[in-house]
Amino acid sequence: MAVRPITVIGHKALHQPTKKVREVTDEIRTLVEDMFDTMEAANGVGLAANQVGVRLRLFVFDVPDDEDETVNHRGVILNPVLEKGVVPPGEVPREEGGEGCLSIPGEHFPTARADWARVTGTDLDGNELVIEGTGLLARALQHETDHLDGKLFVERLTPTVRTRSREAIKQRGWEAAHITKWDPSTTDAEDV
């Protein structure tokens, strides 16, 4: 098991759709273990394979339950297909819907998401898997599936918030410094 570098906005792996997992190999099992280690080191609740530079359609998650803090929704899903409720239109109040991303470290923006979502796919053994939830779990399922489709959450922002996000990302200076990855085991997200 190892912590892998996380790709940063602008890295081509984040902006391309991923490829279906056709067979679970030892390399994929190792990838999943590494993704859990990486997510934990970065204090994340979800991590898509393309966030560690692998263009395969799978993600891991470890999301605290909204109502019972002793419960975590944790797992891996391969080839997820997303269903979701209605996304509310208009601006999202700043105090609601704040969303961040390990590929845009240190930034959080109000993002409209459906309050209910379900993904259907398979586990590492090929068994059908259905994960359904509301609140933070629903947000994570939508966020990670977006990654696998080559979309970042900042692309879902309203025009006003999108402008703020672009300014914040530019101020981080990743593009100017040619930073495309960060190592969560040695670097604080704020320092990237």
- The tokens describing 35, both together, are 């993704």
Q: Which of 79, 151, 142 is nearest to 114 (CA)?
A: 142
Neighbouring C-beta atoms of residue 111, cutoff 10 Å: 24
Q: Do residues 117 and 80 lie in contact, with contact meaning Cβ atoms separated by under 8 Å?
A: no
User: Per the annotation, where are the binding residues for Fe cation?
Assistant: 101, 143, 147
Task: Check pLDDT > 70 for residue 5.
Answer: yes
Q: Is residue 1 part of a domain?
A: no
68 assigned to some structural domain: yes
Give the percent of the chain with pLDDT over 70. Answer: 95
Q: Tell me how far apart the alpha carbons of residues 67 and 114 are, in angstroms, rounded to a whole number.
A: 18
- The range of the structural domain enclosing residue 169 comes to 6-182
Binding residues: 101, 143, 147
Q: Which residue has the higher pLDDT, 161 or 49?
A: 49
pLDDT at residue 9 in the model? 94
73 occurs within a structural domain? yes
Q: Is 71 exposed, middle or buried (0-12, 13-18, 19+ CB in 10 A)?
A: exposed
- The residue among 45, 64, 50 whose CA lies nearest residue 4 is 50
The answer to whether position 133 is within a domain reads: yes
Task: Please check whether residue 188 lies inside any domain of the structure.
Answer: no
Question: 190 pLDDT exceeds 70?
Answer: no
Instruction: Give residue-wise pLDDT tens across range 162-181.
Output: 999 999 999 998 888 888 99
Amino acid 34: pLDDT: 98
pLDDT in tens, 50-67: 999 999 999 999 999 888
**pLDDT tens-digit profile of 87-132?**
888 777 666 668 999 999 999 999 999 999 999 999 999 999 999 9
pLDDT value at residue 87: 87
Percent pLDDT > 90 in the chain is 75
Q: How far is CA 110 from CA 5, 56, 128, 139, 177, in A?
A: 26, 28, 33, 12, 27
* Residue 24 tokens, joined: 């679970």
Structural domain includes residue 192: no
Q: Cα–Cα distance between 171 and 118 in angstroms, integer?
A: 36
Name the domain count of the chain.
Answer: 1
Catalytic residues: 144
Q: For 33-52, what is each residue's pLDDT tens digit?
A: 999 999 999 999 999 999 99
Q: What's the chain's average pLDDT?
A: 92
Give the pLDDT confidence score for residue 131 in this predicted structure.
Answer: 96
Q: Per the structure block, which two tokens stand in for 104?
A: 């845009």
In a domain, 145, yes or no: yes
pLDDT for 48: 98
91 inside domain: yes
**pLDDT for the residue numbered 88:** 82
- When pLDDT is cut at 50, 70 and 90, the band that residue 4 belongs to is very high
Give kind and range of the element (H or E) at residue 4: none
CATH number of domain containing 121: 3.90.45.10
